[in-house]
Chain A
Amino acid sequence: KQEVTQIPAALSVPEGENLVLNCSFTDSAIYNLQWFRQDPGKGLTSLLLIQSSQREQTSGRLNASLDKSSGRSTLYIAASQPGDSATYLCAVRPGTGRRALTFGSGTRLQVQP
């Protein structure tokens, strides 16, 4: 059974810092990995999707990397801003069988102005 772990569970940083969120998964046979952002009381917003054949994806100040063989992904946020404060969720889609995503428990990020 696939298990997704996110470390740290919570993170507080001053504005302007670069930061890294970690995601690990137990079964490396994945189809893709997706990073989401969730604001309090809201749904999920997709940030980046990395296919199993890819090593990284970039969007603006965000960069996500994937090391499938070691079961790890990182989300790098450059020059953090208070508006980045949210919960960040990592999710993997299996390579076979069930098509739905398996989610980590998230990292709650607070960027202090």
Chain B
Amino acid sequence: GAGVSQSPSNKVTEKGKDVELRCDPISGHTALYWYRQSLGQGLEFLIYFQGNSAPDKSGLPSDRFSAERTGGSVSTLTIQRTQQEDSAVYLCASSLDSSGTETQYFGPGTRLLVL
């Protein structure tokens, strides 16, 4: 596609429910990143996928958060038993590779509100 796409664009859920956020990276990009942008917290790294390598999950805030990337393309970020502090904008980015020379391109984000 022309750019990174994310769905849904907005999600309102009740505390305790599970949510799934989807990211469709730019075609051919092997690296995919999830970040979270919260009020007062800035942008923080969550998880990173590179090709078929094991993902870097070091940024996930708790075991309620998980992500997978199927077929090296689309990724889903799942938040189980959502809490109000999970309310944030979840941003996905992709890059051609992870060598450090390539720009990360960001999607428009999913705005999650947990009531």
B3 to chain A, nearest CB (A): 9
Measured CB to CB, the closest approach of chain B to A5, in angstroms, equals 11
A31 near B42 (CB under 8 angstroms)?
no
- B76: interface (CB < 8 Å): no
In the bound complex, do residue B109 and residue A43 qualify as a contact, i.e. CB atoms below 8 Å apart?
yes
Does A71 interact with chain B (Cβ within 8 Å)?
no
Query: Which of A44, A46, A98, A105 contacts B42, CB < 8 Å?
Result: A105
Instruction: Name the interface residues of A86-113: CB closer than 8 Å to any CB of B.
Output: 89, 91, 93, 98-106
Give the interface size class of chain B. Answer: 20 to 34
Q: Is the pair A101, B100 in contact by a Cβ cutoff of 8 Å?
A: no
Within 8 A of A (CB), among B83-115: 91, 93, 98, 100-101, 103-109
Most chain-B CB neighbours within 10 Å: which of A32, A51, A91, A99?
A99
Residues in B whose Cβ lies below 8 Å from that of A89? 43
Contacting pair A31 B100 (CB below 8 A): yes
A106 engages B42 (CB within 8 Å): yes
Where the two chains meet, the residues of B that have a C-beta atom closer than 8 Å to any C-beta of A are 4, 31, 33, 35, 42-45, 48, 50, 56, 58-59, 91, 93, 98, 100-101, 103-109
Report the 4 A-B pairs with minimum CB-CB distance, sorted nearest first.
Answer: A31-B100, A100-B45, A103-B43, A44-B106
Chain A residues near B (Cβ < 8 Å): 31-32, 34, 36, 42-46, 49, 51, 89, 91, 93, 98-106
